[in-house]
Amino acid sequence: LAQSTFSIYDIQRSNVYAAQGGRALNVAGTLASKGAEWAVAVRPDPAWQVWANLAYTRARYEDYVFTGGSFSGNTPPNVARLLANLGGSYRFSAIWPAEIGASVRRVGDRFHNDANTVRLLGYTLLDAQATLQPWPSTKLSLHLRNLTDRDYAAWADPFYPDQILIGAPRSVELTLQVAF
């Protein structure tokens, strides 16, 4: 069993506000975004599931002229040209059903500001999870995030040009889900 989606887009937004340092806003004229996204999920048998998705975006300011210069042609902040995910899981049929899986996520380079003077480097994260279902209404899950303990810039706020949100370090999460 398999499913897939594919989309192509060409979006133009006019009179877009762009954040500037010091809590100021500029009217950035037009923001044009073109790209494509593809996703696929495959279940070769009831136990295995594999999924992947890929997105390519080309976003640019058009007509972004202000007193002192122009950012026309620049990429808006926090927009990666490439995003990709790949993952898989295996479900065991035992006394207590269990599932294990892993995924990898790639986020390409992005810019911190409209001037495109600060580049946030792309990053790749590896995650894993295991779930045990002792009763039909109960799940116990263990999630291991950022297994390689990669340092990365997750997001940048153009309002505060000297601040960047650092991504979460390696972490472990244990959850118990009970339906009633």
Model pLDDT, residue 21? 61
- Quick one: which of 138, 70, 142 has its CA closest to 99? 142
Strand pairing class (153-156; 138-145): unpaired
Structure confidence by residue, pLDDT tens digits, 157-172: 877 778 899 999 999 9
Question: Each residue of 111-127: pLDDT tens digit?
Answer: 998 889 999 999 999 99
The pLDDT of residue 7? 98
Model pLDDT, residue 124: 98
> Residue 133 and residue 147: Cα distance in Å, rounded?
24
- Note the pLDDT of residue 14: 92
* pLDDT, tens digit, 9 for 90 and up, residues 37-86: 999 999 999 999 999 999 999 999 998 888 778 899 999 999 999 999 99
Q: How far apart are CA 107 and CA 60, in angstroms?
A: 18
Instruction: Give me the pLDDT at residue 154, please.
Output: 94
pLDDT at 26: 76
